[in-house]
Amino acid sequence: MIEQQTSASATTGPLDVFRPARHFVGIDVLRIAAALGVLLFHLHGAGGWPDFAWELPTFLLQGAWVGVDVFFVISGAVVGQAALRLWRSAKPSRYAFLRSRWWRIAPLYLLTSIVYVAFFHESLLVGADWLLQVSVHVLFIHNWFPSTIFSINPPTWSLASEMQLYVLLALSAPIIVRASPMRVALGVLMVAMGWRSLSLIACHHFDASNLASCAQHFAYLTPGMLDSFGLGLALILLREQRAFGNPKPSTSDALNLDWKRVVVLLGGSALCLGTGAFVFRDVVAGTIWETPVWAVSFRSLIALGAALVVWALLDLRLGVRASQRARHWGNLSYGIYLWHWIVILAWLAVTDIRGLPMLCSVVFLTWLLSELTWRAFERPLQRWRSGRSTN
């Protein structure tokens, strides 16, 4: 969910192997849409959503949490491409790949975690398990334990799964680079659904009285998110093998979203967002885990819908100015994802104002923090590291 794309330059530098072969402007558009969707979903739960006479906006908003799954598909495609390029290079290095991903994810993650603990959870550092809390978050394994998965800036649970998927990708790249896209797609779907099935059986057998919390925790573990990430990887393999309509390079700035891609985009959005909205109440109530078919398949249906959306936008072209704006907003999406919960908590702590004023204010403040940390922290750090590696 946090991959920065950079256009390949004519001269290949030490870091170029980690960059996509081309910049996907459509993915930038999708990244900011997914980040804003997660923000609006959490705002809805916090009372920052105005009442509508028409129920459709609220219904769709209840499914906006699927933005997280969209991020995983995007990550599988963009980071997967970088990993495969690295493995095909003259000097493949798993360590170099993982180091690159750490530098992209960790700095802002650590900064926002420190801010969260300092302002909202300072008691964590004096608790009996403070060493466990700090250790698992630094190591990106905080999704392993129920007591740590949401303890520091709750949305960061997904970053633990993401980093673990990067490790898995680094280890399996020699196999994946020779695999067919269909085998990868079917394999990750089978693993993810099999994991959920076994987890549900285990929870029924060992912890039936807490079935919902037990099954939900296992669903958040990395194998449960493998289908979203893996489908993104399968998409990029499919694109590289030109197994579907990969458009020829063009210098035109004209929008190339033809009717076929529009149909795929609308169908994927309906499957992804519609499934998320449909199961929302059952997920919140914990009753979805009492229906095995839904419990095992709903996340995979969302992943399939998200993959269709990513495919439809993967080769989108926009005008020069629109592409530049999309790229900038794509860069801000990671900050929006990490800052939004902190801003919501701060708003709830200082004022009783809810509804539309809260919605507008939280969105603005989240954007402002994301913009500031991008310009003053993330981008300078990336430039420093790029210059250091070049030298």
Q: Is the pLDDT score of 300 beyond 90?
A: yes
Q: What are the domain boundaries of the chain?
A: 16-390
The arithmetic mean of pLDDT across residues 37-52, rounded, is 83
> How much is the pLDDT for 391?
54
Banded pLDDT at 157 (limits 50, 70, 90) = very high
Whole-angstrom CA distances from 149 to 13, 129, 136, 385 are 38, 13, 9, 30
pTM above 0.75, yes or no: yes
What average pLDDT is seen over the chain?
88
86 or 54, which is more confident: 86
H-state helical runs in the chain: 25-45, 56-61, 67-88, 94-120, 130-138, 157-176, 181-206, 211-220, 226-240, 259-285, 292-313, 320-350, 356-373, 379-390
Measured CA to CA in angstroms, residue 269 lies from 222, 229, 253, 264, 277 at distances of: 24, 17, 25, 8, 12
